[in-house]
Amino acid sequence: MKDTDRESVFNYIFSICEILKRESSALMELIDYPDDAENISRKVAAFEEEADSVFHDIVFLFQEGNLARDPEATTLLELSRSVEDCTDAIDQLAMDFYRYNVTEVRDDIYSLILNISRAVSKLTDLMFSLKKMDKLQPPIKYIVELDAFKVEEEKNYDDNIHKLFTTESDPVEIIRWKSIYDSFRETFKAFENVADMSGRVVFFEKK
């Protein structure tokens, strides 16, 4: 894979990272304005469409450069796909607040959304580290730190679901928040997948 093609792929990935930042900022608005969930979710959906367009540009680059048979290139394609999948997951999460007619958020939602924002920041750091393969700030450090968000989420998920089923008696509320907690879990799984794919990139480039 030519250095110019590699740089182009990472530049596209950085564009998706910027979109992720905008998505996570929009999610924070749900804390203060849950009644505006419809407009906020549509804003996030527009960001996701933008990220999808960027990924299509990456695919076009691969087609134009005839990179489909290059193992390094295909690994980077899968990495970029995993980053774009994070925008899909956040899109679905935001839409759930509208789908399930959330008008007031539970106390534990703020920390979950804040963790998404932190995970986006860590993912961006990881992408810059992968591009440079910096020995002073090795990618493995960021891979471990990004993966840690999923570990924390698993504990939060169990605690939040337990609390939901032990303190809530309204079946509508249980259905609503169980679905939203599931979407948070899927979002952090998407971040975990980026960490896993980044490990493959590191392994490949060290060969």
Across the chain, mean pLDDT equals 93
pLDDT of residue 46: 98
* pLDDT value for 137: 66
Mean local confidence (pLDDT), 23-36: 96
Computed from CA positions of residues 81, 82, 87, 93, in that sequence, does the dihedral angle turn out positive or negative? positive
Q: What is the DSSP letter of 107?
A: T
Query: For residue 85, which of 48, 110, 117 has the smallest C-alpha distance?
Result: 48
At residue 136, the pLDDT reads 55
pLDDT of residue 207: 54
pLDDT band at 31 (very low <50, low <70, confident <90, very high): very high
DSSP string for 33-54 = -GGGHHHHHHHHHHHHHHHHHH
How far lies 20's CA from each of 104, 110, 125, 137, 205, in Å? 24, 18, 13, 23, 26
Q: Per-residue pLDDT averaged across 148-152, rounded?
A: 95
pLDDT tier at 135, thresholds 50, 70, 90: low
pLDDT tens for residues 87-109? 999 999 999 999 999 999 999 99
pLDDT confidence of residue 150:
95
Q: What is the residue whose two structure tokens read 């900022």?
A: 25
Burial-class residue 42 by CB neighbours within 10 Å (0-12, 13-18, 19+). Answer: middle
pLDDT of residue 47: 98
Determine the Cα angle at 17 with ends 14 and 23, to 5°.
Answer: 155
Cα–Cα distance between 151 and 163 in angstroms, integer? 19
Q: Looking at residue 64, what is its pLDDT? A: 82
**Could you tell me which of 98, 97, 89, 101 has the C-alpha nearest to residue 48?**
89
